[in-house]
Structure 1
């Protein structure tokens, strides 16, 4: 029979049959460069199909078929060898079954734990009472007064924050809400954390390296009694994964322009039962109700990228008054060349933002004007992005997006500055 008939009778493609011939598993007769398949090749191909279903590899199958071809399967030695091959494969499969059962058991345990996290009992948290001295009026600087409060010995869950000058804000579900909302149309809250899941392996690897750097630097610091600020978390949120490593005596201040982002993250963090003091502030501006000079460490996990979409200046310029004289900034940055097509598209998409955002050299200059020295190290770069939404819809494939992590510290004041 010709190869087409053999393929039709067995359901095996012609290319696969040719492959078996080239490997010497099938040995058809040849007639003028054409194969002539007989009932023997049909039988051998059926053996191949059966043994593949039994999980034998092609080398094992070829050894078995060769053994059978040169015997009548009645010789004791031949039968013993065939039995040995079958028993070895059976033991191998039993071992795999035991391993897979163990894997299934482990997966079942993971499912139970994950289900427990979803349906776990959250800790009830609010504005820490210890943070009240830091809540001051952004207009006149007086400490805000609390009224109509729902509270316990550690937290305020709801209430009013007011100042004699007329400023007011609210505490709702443990979050300070100033009432200043983002009303632009250039962004939306990433409530499903899509920026963590759909960016591709190369992007996530460099992002994780940036996370690792900030983590290592924070571990070198004594955070006891310190105030740590992270803002603009709609994109990426470092402290969300790091809080359990912090001193329980420090205060974390988390700020974002979207109240719903803070509500989402607060509900998740409450499930972790960390007993960490956290002050959440929902504010689309940078006139926060915070005391000047209260921040010791600022974490900017791509926060400058996010901030400069909606503000003309860098976050350090807009929020420096909240930083202590020795405040340290640990951060990461995505950077494009200013003359790149991607950068032009970003400026077009976010017209309210900075003209020099998303660029390391420009950020260094902005920090220098604020008397901060920014030291950066390149982590990696990519040219292709699988996700085309949010800011990344502006990325032009083929252009280079660079990842940096950095540390910024106040520069030593000159004698002339000290005399002022």
Structure 2
């Protein structure tokens, strides 16, 4: 839907719609320098108009829309944040004149309907789909795994054991395949409260939404039917959770992280979407995934390269090389900061990089270096199908949201689309 049709649909001017876009309230897809509005934008506009009727400021509307875009208000934390915002606005309106009485009543209805989402959501119980068994293998010797003590419901393994003659073993607990985590840094930890999301600035969320659009468009250009799609390192962000409703229902998806509690968080959120998807959840170190070599057809990386490089001398792809093959695609987003000196001892010039070293002393010096990252990607992939600089923010949020980013410094976000893995040197 073009901007003229969209504005007429809501009885607004095109200038008003452009104003909302500039403020980050609407984030339509851009095609050939023109806006293309979809059903999600219509839903955002309806919510925007509802919140305007509730007398929320533009800033508060942006925060609520950002909260919805991140989580679809699926978890109790985000629902609580939303309810707290609504309740606070109710108190303001109660102190105003009597003509606001109708608005207050409508607001109470919204609070009640949102609160019921805690109990009304029907969670789809899922496990390890039997369709994934041909893809499983010992991460050490690549032998087939034997299965024992399984509890199977509707072609899903809810619990059980996986064993190899070489001594490797893993378990399936609550539908999650739990393997070996590998070495974990003392500076690392699971973000089970999803504070990286909740503390983000609205401008950063808008930037990420633009990257999501870009990545989803490239993903949908691929033949994904029957293909194995892997997303790793979801401790900070999970592209699949945010976009599953627009992704191919006939693909096979694997979502992994080294922390079982993080995998459980996203499994719970995705189960609440109640989508008929084939998803395998694995909690294990990236180089220890119990998968067959060369099985991954499409790799999704949203901040995984950055996250890995904070704790290792390299990018996430280095840990995943054996799962790729010569026809694998990679679609991702990479955050960047102004490079500093190559080591903490030399006192890096970039304030954010210096703070990054202080908080995470194991950080690789190329962690946020977009120029080096692109050169690296061109060396290990046959084709660079597309690149884009999505933009930057100078305010990334508070506390755990890029805690090392110094406000005022540019935090950039770039995307890539690669094909044909040829290996690392």
Q: Partner of 2:317 in structure 1?
A: 316
Gaps of 5+ in 1: 1-92, 414-420
Matched, 1:351 2:354: no
Query: Cα RMSD (Å) of the superposition?
Result: 2.5
Cα 1:352–1:134 change in 2 (3 A) is farther
Gaps of 5+ in 2: 1-96, 341-349
Greater relative contact order (Cα 8 A, min sep 6): structure 1 or 2? 2
Matched, 1:405 2:415: yes
Matches within 5 A, 1:3-402: 100=103, 103-104=106-107, 107=110, 111-112=112-113, 115-180=116-181, 183-339=184-340, 340-374=350-384, 375-389=386-400, 392-402=402-412
Q: Distance in 2 between matches of 1:212 and 1:349?
A: 32
Give the alignment's TM-score, normalised by structure 1.
0.69
Q: Distance in 2 between matches of 1:411 and 1:386?
A: 36
Kept in 2, the 8 Å contact 1:127–1:156? The answer is: yes
Cα 1:229–1:200 change in 2 (3 A) is same
Structure 1 residue 143, shift from structure 2 partner: 1.3
Q: Distance in 1 between matches of 2:387 and 2:244?
A: 24
Kept in 1, the 8 Å contact 2:381–2:418? The answer is: no
Kept in 1, the 8 Å contact 2:180–2:288? The answer is: no
Partner deviation per Cα, 1:120-163 (whole Å, 9 max, x = no partner): 33221111101011110111111111111111341111111111
Q: Distance in 1 between matches of 2:145 and 2:99?
A: 68
Cα 1:318–1:412 change in 2 (3 A) is closer
**SS across alignment from 2:288:** coil
Give the alignment's TM-score, normalised by structure 2.
0.68
Kept in 2, the 8 Å contact 1:227–1:297? The answer is: yes
Kept in 2, the 8 Å contact 1:314–1:366? The answer is: no
**SS across alignment from 1:334:** strand
**SS across alignment from 1:232:** coil
Q: Distance in 2 between matches of 1:101 and 1:327?
A: 54
**How many residues matched?**
317
Q: Could you say which structure has the larger radius of gyration?
A: 1
**SS across alignment from 1:298:** strand
